[in-house]
Structure 1
């Protein structure tokens, strides 16, 4: 079994334990002795704050997303969504991949897509920003990784693979993104992710 196939096993274990150790976006640290108190900004936000639609600088990791607590993991999941939004704007995937494990296949697939189709080159238009509305079920595995899920909403958008291609319209949707995080340099990085329609 490869490490990537273990994501499913980790997610299954996470869901089994979630009844006892579930963590919601309003209280990731509840009953958790190993978590730091969230910052005021992190605890008052119920959705990720999207970066501006400008191919300027990528968003910096917020202080709340630093460290290896469960509260930091929740803030990191929201921050990672902001990195994905920035990559969709600019086509620059370096910051997003820098916050990803080297073996994260879904991260690489997303990066490959937005390198070709992004707002900066005009091949991605509409309401394509992701908004994380909830992060829950954050559970530490025996291997030190952390699993959980996030509820994500996205608006209607249009994408094309190349300028001459027919446009593809994606309707507004809400989905659940299952995530697995691993520790790197004293903070969380995206180990793997996958989405499921709600």
Structure 2
């Protein structure tokens, strides 16, 4: 795990999250983004998964113009775009665009990318309402280092996942969680620095 030093301001929860996000996001007990949370209610399933019958996306979503630049409004647009990239990766198993929009040291970004390479809708190991629905972006605060911290409220429906075709399937119940995140500037726009999900 890469250790990162960040400045904190004790009066703002967001800056505290910005300061500790990289450390807390990759602890052994933290759920990995996009993976079924071991602490969340899961139900063993005996049904078999079949590849989806709906057509897969032809390519990853393009970064919208609103997500260009380093303003707070660009940060919010980027966070919504990043959620779209996560959904695309879970559909197809292709995490290239997701990783291109992430810092190389983002541990949970890599963990999510590794998960969808193994289990995605394209290979039939991820079925149901697994898409993220990003409801709200809040508490965007720029730190003295130029990085930005904030959070997003995300809902996910009921879905079934498997690690391999022969592994037991698990059903994850619908849930809402908060994604705490940090962004960093890169080539004049934001990229994901680190993220973690906190069950509500």
Q: TM (normalized to structure 2)?
A: 0.76
Stretch of structure 1 that moved more, 176-185 or 53-62: 53-62
1:155 aligns with 2:157: yes
Deviation per residue, 1:47-105 (Å, 9 max, x gap) = xxxxx972420000000111000000000000000000000000000000000000000
Alignment of 1:120-159 (within 5 A): 120-159=122-161
* Two-structure CA RMSD over aligned residues (Å): 2.2
Task: Tell me the residue number matched to 1:2.
Answer: 3
Task: Tell me the residue number matched to 2:95.
Answer: 93
Question: What count of residue pairs does the alignment treat as equivalent?
Answer: 162
| SS, match of residue 144 in structure 2 | coil
Cα deviation, residue 146, structure 1 = 0.1
- Unaligned 5+ segments in structure 2 are 17-53
Alignment of 1:61-140 (within 5 A): 61-140=63-142
Task: Tell me the residue number matched to 2:13.
Answer: 15
Q: Give 2:176's match in structure 1, choosing from 166, 170, 174.
A: 174
Deviation per residue, 1:94-132 (Å, 9 max, x gap) = 000000000000000000000000000000000000011
Task: Tell me the residue number matched to 1:45.
Answer: none
Q: TM (normalized to structure 1)?
A: 0.77
Distance in 2 between residues matched to 1:12 and 1:91, nearest whole Å: 40
| SS, match of residue 150 in structure 2 | strand
| SS, match of residue 103 in structure 1 | coil
- Unaligned 5+ segments in structure 1 are 19-51
Distance in 2 between residues matched to 1:171 and 1:92, nearest whole Å: 25
Whether contact under 8 Å (1:55, 1:86) holds in the other structure is yes
Task: Tell me the residue number matched to 1:34.
Answer: none
